[in-house]
Amino acid sequence: MQESFDGRCLREVADKVEVHLDTVEQWVAIFKLRGIAGLLRKPWTLNDEKQKEVEQKIKNLNALIHQSPSLYGINRTSWRTEDLAAVYSKVYGVVLTRSTVWNYLQRQGYRFRKAKEVLTSPDPKFREKLDKITSILNNLKPDDRFFSIDEMGSCGIRAKVGWSYTEPGEQKTVKAHQKAKAYIICTAALELTTNQVTHFYSRAKNTDEMIKLMEVLIEQYRGMRKIYLSWDAASWHASSKLKERIKEVSARAYRKEHGTPAVELAPLPASAQFLNVIESVFSGLAKAVLHNSDYKGADDCKQAIDRYFSERNAYYLKYPKRAGKRIWGKELVPAKFSPDQNCKDPRVRFNGKKKSQALKKPVNN
């Protein structure tokens, strides 16, 4: 308003605030009649139809931000709001302004941060791999099972910070530098159709542990036709030794003798941990039994993790229709695969260090 009364062209004002010229002219007229009070926005709510439209736009926007701008002909390594607005309009045929895009991103908790937390995948085969996983899930048969797989840790057993109720004036403190009492790695698989977690503890992250998990799953799911294993692009998830073992157990003669299902890989795109559904489960686990903890050793910590997964599995067996609700330590997203959600919580660090640093520590099994 001040700029318009200072003589600035109303069209320039409209361009600056990204609204139509007629809207600015209406604002000026209202201001002259009723002052600033007339411009204050009155409380209002969206009807159900409009609310669904907004939710769909947010889902579409999340799906876009998970992909690299270069896939849409933009010569940048990260998204800008103006680029997202332009691409959204081109892809979905609906015009979104920069301010609307920014508003939707803020509502989802997105912030512009350093590259280590950017929710995009540089994988040139991103769409191809995503389409394959989506196709598998859309055509999953009753005797098929799909697993989201990853390793949590290594996790240092030490006093950890976290939220808790405190008395007035009380301030809990945790030493910044502590020697870990032990380290653990939890290898786990989340079955998406039943929301059941299978887990065990590993001494390292390598091919042998992945073969062990695969063999545990085919024994646990005897009688199924096929199981799909989906995980990130870590080298031990795609080794020749692992692929050879999968070929062996998927052979007709082996399956007939042991009554086990065939195994097929459905790898995620590179740097796409935000699509790995089990990351959300790990986030809920960390908030429930790791944050604000001070376990005496590895055994105490493992007991808490075992109980967490046992209770979670029991709940979803009893209430299968509720699978995906944000319970058990407030998991980030529903336990289902979707390209428009972020399963990885960048605030959750199991060892207080980067993953690469944590792997250098010895692990107590």
Could you write out the DSSP letters of every residue in 194-220?
TTEEEEEEESS-SHHHHHHHHHHHHHH
DSSP 230: E
Question: How many CB atoms neighbour CB 83 within 10 A?
Answer: 17
Q: How far is CA 263 from each of CA 98, 202, 217, rounded to the nearest angstrom?
A: 45, 22, 10
3-class SS at 100?
Answer: helix
Q: Which residues on adjacent β-strands are paired with residue 152? A: 186
Question: How many CB atoms neighbour CB 125 within 10 A?
Answer: 13
Taking only the tens of pLDDT, the chain with its 365 residues reads 666 667 778 788 777 777 778 888 888 888 877 777 777 766 556 677 888 888 899 889 988 888 888 889 888 777 888 999 999 999 999 988 888 888 888 887 777 655 444 456 677 888 888 888 888 888 889 999 999 999 998 899 998 888 766 667 778 788 888 899 999 999 999 998 899 999 999 999 999 999 999 999 999 999 999 999 998 888 888 899 999 999 999 999 999 999 999 999 998 887 776 678 888 899 889 988 898 889 999 999 999 999 999 999 998 898 875 333 333 334 555 655 665 555 555 555 555 444 434 434 444 54
Query: What distance in Å separates the CA atoms of residue 53 and residue 301, rounded to the nearest whole number?
Result: 45
Query: What distance in Å separates the CA atoms of residue 139 and residue 337, rounded to the nearest whole number?
Result: 14
pLDDT digits (tens, 9 = 90+) for 349-361: 555 444 434 434 4
DSSP 176: S
3-class SS at 359?
Answer: coil
Please, what is the end-to-end C-alpha distance for the chain in angstroms? 67
E strand or H helix at 314, and its extent?
helix 298-318
**Cis? peptide before 70, omega within 30° of 0:** no
Is the pTM of the predicted complex or chain greater than 0.75? no
DSSP 350: S
E strand or H helix at 53, and its extent?
helix 48-65
Q: How far is CA 359 from the centre of its chain?
A: 22
Query: What distance in Å separates the CA atoms of residue 306 and residue 289, rounded to the nearest whole number?
Result: 10
Give the up-direction half-sphere exposure of residue 147: CA atoms within 13 A in the CB hemisphere.
24
Query: What distance in Å separates the CA atoms of residue 358 and residue 304, rounded to the nearest whole number?
Result: 21
